[in-house]
Amino acid sequence: MVNTSRDSEIKLGNGEKINLKDFFTAYYPAFNSFAAGYIADPAVCEDVVQEVFISFWEKQKTFPNVYAVKAFFYTSIRNSCLDFLKHTIVEEKYRAINKNRNESTESFLEEVLRKEAYSEIYNEINKLPEMGKNVLLLILREKSNEEIATILNIAVNTVKTHKARAYKVLRKNLNDLFLLLFPFPKHLPHS
Amino acid sequence: MKPEHTNIHESIRAGSLIGKYLTGKESAKEKAQLKDWLNEDARHQQLFNTLKKNGNIADAMEEFGVHDKEQAWKRYTERLAALSLRKMLFRWKVAAVFFFLVACTGILAYINSGWNSLPGNESYTTVSTNNGQNSRIILPDSSVVWVNSGTTLSYNTNFAAKNRHIRLSGQAFFKVARNEEMPLTVTCNDLQVKVLGTEFDVSAYPEDQNISVVLESGSVKLLHANDKSFGYTLSPGEKAEFNVARGNLSVNKVNSYNYTSWKDGILIFEDAPMRDVIEKLERWYDINIEVKNENVYKLVFNATIVNESMGDIFDLIKFSCAVNYKIIPSDKPEVPVQVILSN
């Protein structure tokens, strides 16, 4: 029987372990955002994700690796959402989304990729202190140092300090990206 | 085209590579993998370029941030705790029923003279299934038995050491490991089925008037516990029906798979009288079927059922036999679902 305490662990076939609480906290936002691609009502999305977490726990089967666990979540969430849409009278626009999703495995896979990528970023940003997070989000909204200082009511120098830390979290030196695609010119700066 | 699950794994892997790269956490190896992935397909590069746009990241971060994770975790653990408790109670209930059945069959076997030797200290292994479930067991001699719903099967603990005796109430399909020295016998009431090594099906539900034995391959011998003159050797494709009350036997040729297909999860009805259909469906789905009108019993039903829902089957009966049905759901696990048939 799985212990429901905060330390409860799920063993995978390859010997790795997933801490249930860590996994829940790290992926709950991504899974909800994934469900939101199908269903507009955030409360329904939360219900769907909760249900899938429950069935994950109930299954008690051994997943071979963490990919299989995530694949289980994304597929189950998609199926539950489509099921929900099928059985509910919804506004025309949701039905349009549903139809679109239903037809394309491609867009499903792309969506999974997006959530995985943004989940990494989200969990990394979450390690920053509250003010650092706010500064970073405003940087992403293309605000200048002065604008950020005014919005958050802090000194411009404080903004700069936070910015320096934020850049460690989020790679901004996109020259590096250049390197990634064309690995030959060795003289380009490398961060 | 790759199967979808490989594709999902691929998406998860690529997504996490991109995420790691954008947060500067990637290892040299992961960086190389990301490079390969980007060079694989122009669409990958396009996707990557959209993903790393500041505005898109900001949108995603805001969307990710709207839910209260702590609150959600609390709700989740509360539900898990409730579930654990329910499961524990359920397990306890199952265990109690199981022990009760062992004791009960032990006594029955002891007082019944059908057994050749019954020293007081002999114990039995009993396997029983409820309605709506069936299972497959492997006996100590590596014979395989598929046990249909609502069935009890028992064998002594030193099975295959001295003899191979099995008692059966209900339905089971046997795949017997051949052993000429030690024949396997299945006893149901007064009927004994003696076998060397073969595949056959025995159906002996207490509520049925007949015990039926259908042979798929090999040969089996039917014997009577108290009547030495009784004996019949069944051939493949034959179905023997033993009338329990009168003690007589009738044999006819059948398509044996119609009777043994249940072990593969398939129910086949071929010109089956409605009475048989009802009994089988009751056991298969663990439901109660009530017949409002005696005329229903005069009908015959033809269908092959594979993994169909209960509602689908009754729709089928409705259309092919012109019978109306009504399903009365049950909200208590101990009360079976009720289905009313009328025409």
In chain B the domains, ranked by start, together with CATH numbers, are 4-64 (no CATH), 124-260 (2.60.120.1440), 265-342 (3.55.50.30)
Q: What is the largest CA-CA distance in chain A?
A: 60
Give the nearest chain B residue to A110 (CA atoms).
Answer: B11
Distance CA B29, CA B52 (A): 21
Give the nearest chain A residue to B23 (CA atoms).
Answer: A170
Whether B53 and chain A come into contact, CB under 8 Å, resolves to: no
Q: Which one has a higher pLDDT value, B242 or B201?
A: B242
**Tens digits of per-residue pLDDT, B99-157?**
322 222 323 333 343 444 444 446 778 887 877 777 778 777 777 788 887 788 888 87
Sole residue written with tokens 């002996």: B204
Judged by CB atoms closer than 8 Å, whether chains meet at B21 and A168 is answered as no
Whether A178 and chain B come into contact, CB under 8 Å, resolves to: no
Distance CA A72, CA A56 (A): 8
Judged by CB atoms closer than 8 Å, whether chains meet at B80 and A67 is answered as no
Judged by CB atoms closer than 8 Å, whether chains meet at B19 and A121 is answered as yes
Q: Tell me how many residue pairs between chain A and chain B have CB atoms under 8 A apart.
A: 168
CA-based nearest residue to B69, from A119, A111, A1, A83: A119
For strands B144-147 and B164-175, give the pairing.
antiparallel
Judged by CB atoms closer than 8 Å, whether chains meet at B35 and A74 is answered as no
Give the nearest chain A residue to B70 (CA atoms).
Answer: A25
H-only helix segments in chain B = 4-22, 28-40, 42-51, 54-64, 69-111, 257-260, 274-285, 310-321
Stretch(es) of chain A classified as CATH 1.10.10.10:
128-191
B54: chain A residues, CB-CB within 8 Å? 139-142
Question: Does position B6 have pLDDT exceeding 80, yes or no?
Answer: no
Question: Does position B45 have pLDDT exceeding 80, yes or no?
Answer: yes
pLDDT of residue A151: 92
Taking domain A128-191, whether its CATH number is 3.40.50.880 is answered by no
CB atoms within 10 A of CB B329: 7
**Tens digits of per-residue pLDDT, B177-230?**
777 677 888 888 777 888 765 666 677 777 777 788 888 777 778 888 777 777
Judged by CB atoms closer than 8 Å, whether chains meet at B23 and A121 is answered as yes
Give the nearest chain B residue to A73 (CA atoms).
Answer: B8
pLDDT of residue A166: 82
Give the DSSP H or E segment for A26.
Answer: helix A20-36
